[in-house]
């Protein structure tokens, strides 16, 4: 069982896209005071922590993933005082704060980069990755930016190229330089000293690159052709050392943890994710597991079960998984798996042991919103063409049926989904059968039921092709989770005699004793049963 300092090993983390959560000053952009004003809502959902997408000072070329000052808040979101207030108010409600930590690159407006690009002899020159052109003037190698085009930008002032794995406004830091590592460790201490309890480490595998800077072989037929050469350039020979520079700071403070963004283009490869655990300190950190995230067209019990089982059973002793279905880079869950499946997804996610991340708005079943070219904000047009755009999953939270869904009194930075009169928190909170109330019931069970809170995962032989079943076990207490992934009613027999139904995805009497010899599940129905 985990100790109090390992609270994150069985915890629900709620991901907030600060631009879109709640706008307190009515400028159309969400802010920290807005988040603070909605903490009671998150307390009711029983989330253990909130992960804030970047709130640092930034020119916002990549909506905060281009940081120009790691130790300040962007004025659009408020101030450090607003941040301290948010942390204090969150702690009063038993909610911890997790920061996004952008490690691979800064903004090209960061003082470090402005110094670095000023001359070849500047002391910060080596804080970024500068290389000479090839003899014909072309970029130093064939690496491609994950946002399209070459990953190198020529800088006239000093006549060299700098590396940018993402936008040219996001130059890559050079982690080979010990001063960079030390500066980044100090940034972590700055936030941990302010009461932050965890980090979501952005694009973590890229901090150690191929030190030879060789051309990469183009991976034909990869899921994202642009990405392939660059993603191959991660996991360099010093990866373990640089990652441990981050986790060693987590060890200086009790109860701190790190989640690493791992390669989202290896979703099908369970062993890739298991491999992470050999390279990191798995007592306090884990990769974000993109396995179940990738189940879009393949939503079935067998595939889901394989992703979970292979991963869960092979996790090293003491390690923990981080599960999630959606984030700010991909189409909304409801739009990917279909609205009829979102209740089952909620039950699956919130009954698995480990760190579970709920993306804001998924608890309402929010859809991906079609954003017209005029309203589009994201510069990652490449990603947009692959997945239907990142703007569509970043639209304002739907709080009520008031104008702009109660997010703001001002026209928001991205349009609100036209369904907000129906899909909003105020309305769904009153409807006992809403998906929001299912999330709340799952949150309550996770807080009150020791087996769900602390129990280990146990495999169950599949008894029905359409149904994925697993157990949570604590001492002699057991909970069965049964998930019908299909759109038809299924019946099957089991070896168990009877059990108490704690929750069904289809609102019905809980606390009901069920004969488990013969189980009947409705289409898309899930059960949590105490046996």
Q: Rounded to the nearest 5 degrees, what angle is found at the Cα of 449, between the Cα atoms of 446 and 450?
A: 105
Tell me the residue nearest to ligand BGC as measured from the CB.
65
**Least distance CB 331 / ligand BGC (angstroms):** 14
**Nearest CB to ligand BGC, comparing residues 153 and 202:** 202
Tokens for 277, please give them: 């655990």
**Nearest CB to ligand BGC, comparing residues 206 and 483:** 206
**Least distance CB 293 / ligand BGC (angstroms):** 12
**Nearest CB to ligand BGC, comparing residues 328 and 472:** 328
**Nearest CB to ligand BGC, comparing residues 202 and 281:** 202
**Least distance CB 53 / ligand BGC (angstroms):** 8
Cα-based distances in Å from 500 to 385, 461, 527: 48, 21, 10
**Nearest CB to ligand BGC, comparing residues 12 and 104:** 104
Yes or no: say if 234 and 209 are a contact pair by the CB < 8 Å rule.
Answer: yes
Catalytic residue of the set 202, 261, 362, 525: 202
Yes or no: say if 235 and 208 are a contact pair by the CB < 8 Å rule.
Answer: yes
Yes or no: say if 148 and 381 are a contact pair by the CB < 8 Å rule.
Answer: yes
Q: CA-CA distance, 392 to 361, in Å (whole number)?
A: 12
**Nearest CB to ligand BGC, comparing residues 231 and 247:** 231
Yes or no: say if 430 and 437 are a contact pair by the CB < 8 Å rule.
Answer: no
Question: Which of 55, 45, 61, 37 shows the shortest CA–CA distance to 13?
Answer: 45
Decide: helix, strand or coil at residue 456. Answer: strand
**Least distance CB 240 / ligand BGC (angstroms):** 21
**Least distance CB 311 / ligand BGC (angstroms):** 21
Yes or no: say if 531 and 513 are a contact pair by the CB < 8 Å rule.
Answer: no
Which DSSP letter does residue 382 get?
H
**Nearest CB to ligand BGC, comparing residues 161 and 166:** 166
Residue matched to tokens 């992703």: 307
Yes or no: say if 86 and 126 are a contact pair by the CB < 8 Å rule.
Answer: no
129-165 as b/e, with b when 16 or more CB fall inside 10 Å?
Answer: bbeeeeeeeebbbbbbbbbeebbbbeeeebebbbbbb
Yes or no: say if 43 and 93 are a contact pair by the CB < 8 Å rule.
Answer: yes
Which DSSP letter does residue 105 get?
B
Which DSSP letter does residue 502 get?
E
Q: CA-CA distance, 479 to 452, in Å (whole number)?
A: 8
H or E, element range at 97: strand 96-102
Q: CA-CA distance, 446 to 436, in Å (whole number)?
A: 15
Q: Where are the beta strands (DSSP E) in 398-440?
A: none
**Nearest CB to ligand BGC, comparing residues 393 and 503:** 393
**Nearest CB to ligand BGC, comparing residues 19 and 404:** 19
Residues at the contact surface with ligand BGC, assessed by CB under 6 A:
62, 65, 102, 166, 202-203, 261, 328-329
**Least distance CB 441 / ligand BGC (angstroms):** 30
Yes or no: say if 490 and 467 are a contact pair by the CB < 8 Å rule.
Answer: yes
**Least distance CB 102 / ligand BGC (angstroms):** 6
Catalytic residue of the set 241, 252, 487, 515: 252
**Least distance CB 435 / ligand BGC (angstroms):** 25
What is the phi-psi region of residue 26: left when phi exceeds 0, alpha when psi lies from -120 to 50, beta otherwise? left
**Least distance CB 86 / ligand BGC (angstroms):** 22
What torsion do the CA atoms of 292, 509, 440, 452 make, to the nearest 10 degrees?
-60
Yes or no: say if 351 and 308 are a contact pair by the CB < 8 Å rule.
Answer: no
252 carries an active-site annotation? yes
* Residues taking part in catalysis: 202, 252
């Amino acid at each position: 069982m985990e100790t109090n300092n390992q609270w994150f090993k069985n915890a629900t983390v709620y991901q907030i896209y600060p631009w879109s959560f709640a706008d307190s000053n009515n400028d159309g952009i969400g802010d920290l005071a807005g988040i603070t004003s909605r903490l009671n809502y998150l307390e009711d959902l029983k989330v253990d922590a909130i992960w804030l997408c970047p709130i640092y000072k930034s020119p916002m070329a990549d909506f905060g993933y281009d940081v120009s000052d790691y130790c300040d808040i962007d004025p659009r979101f408020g101030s450090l005082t607003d941040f301290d207030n948010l942390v204090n108010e969150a702690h009063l409600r038993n909610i911890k704060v997790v920061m996004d930590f952008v490690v691979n690159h800064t903004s090209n407006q960061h003082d470090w980069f402005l110094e670095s690009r000023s001359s070849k002899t500047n002391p910060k020159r080596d804080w970024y990755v500068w290389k000479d052109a090839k003899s014909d003037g072309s970029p130093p190698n064939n690496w491609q930016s994950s946002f399209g085009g070459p990953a190198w930008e020529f800088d006239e002032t000093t006549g060299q190229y700098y590396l940018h794995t993402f936008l040219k406004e996001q130059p890559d830091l050079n982690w080979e330089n010990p001063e960079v590592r030390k500066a980044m460790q100090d940034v972590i201490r700055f936030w941990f000293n302010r009461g932050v309890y965890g980090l979501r480490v952005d694009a973590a595998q890229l901090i150690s690159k191929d030190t030879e800077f060789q051309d990469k072989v183009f991976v034909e037929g990869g899921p994202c052709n642009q990405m392939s050469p660059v993603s191959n350039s991660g996991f360099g020979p010093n990866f373990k050392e640089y990652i441990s520079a981050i986790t060693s700071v987590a060890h200086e403070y009790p109860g701190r943890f790190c989640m690493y963004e791992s390669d989202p283009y290896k979703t099908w490869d369970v062993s890739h994710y298991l491999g992470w655990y050999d390279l990191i300190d798995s007592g306090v950190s884990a990769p974000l597991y993109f396995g179940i995230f990738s189940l879009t067209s393949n939503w079935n019990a067998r595939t889901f079960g394989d992703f979970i089982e292979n991963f869960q059973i092979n996790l090293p002793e003491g390690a923990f998984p981080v599960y999630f279905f959606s984030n700010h880079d991909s189409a909304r869950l409801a739009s990917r798996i279909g609205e009829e499946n979102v209740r089952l997804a909620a039950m699956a996610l919130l009954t698995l042991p480990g760190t579970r991340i709920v993306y804001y708005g998924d608890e309402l079943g929010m859809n991906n919103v079609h954003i017209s070219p005029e309203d589009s904000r994201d510069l990652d047009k490449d990603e947009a063409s692959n997945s239907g755009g990142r703007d569509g999953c970043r639209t304002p939270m739907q709080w009520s049926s008031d104008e702009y869904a109660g997010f703001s009194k001002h026209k928001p930075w991205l349009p609100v989904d036209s369904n907000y009169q129906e899909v909003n928190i105020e309305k769904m909170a009153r409807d006992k059968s809403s998906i929001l109330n299912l999330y709340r019931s799952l949150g309550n069970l996770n807080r009150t039921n020791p087996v769900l809170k602390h129990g280990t995962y146990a495999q169950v032989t599949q008894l029905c092709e359409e149904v994925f079943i697993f157990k949570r076990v604590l001492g002699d207490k057991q909970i069965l989770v049964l998930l019908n992934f299909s759109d038809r009613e299924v019946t099957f027999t089991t070896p168990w005699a009877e059990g108490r139904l704690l929750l069904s995805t289809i609102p019905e009497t809980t606390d009901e004793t069920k004969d488990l010899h013969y189980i009947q599940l409705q289409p898309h129905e899930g059960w949590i049963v105490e046996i």
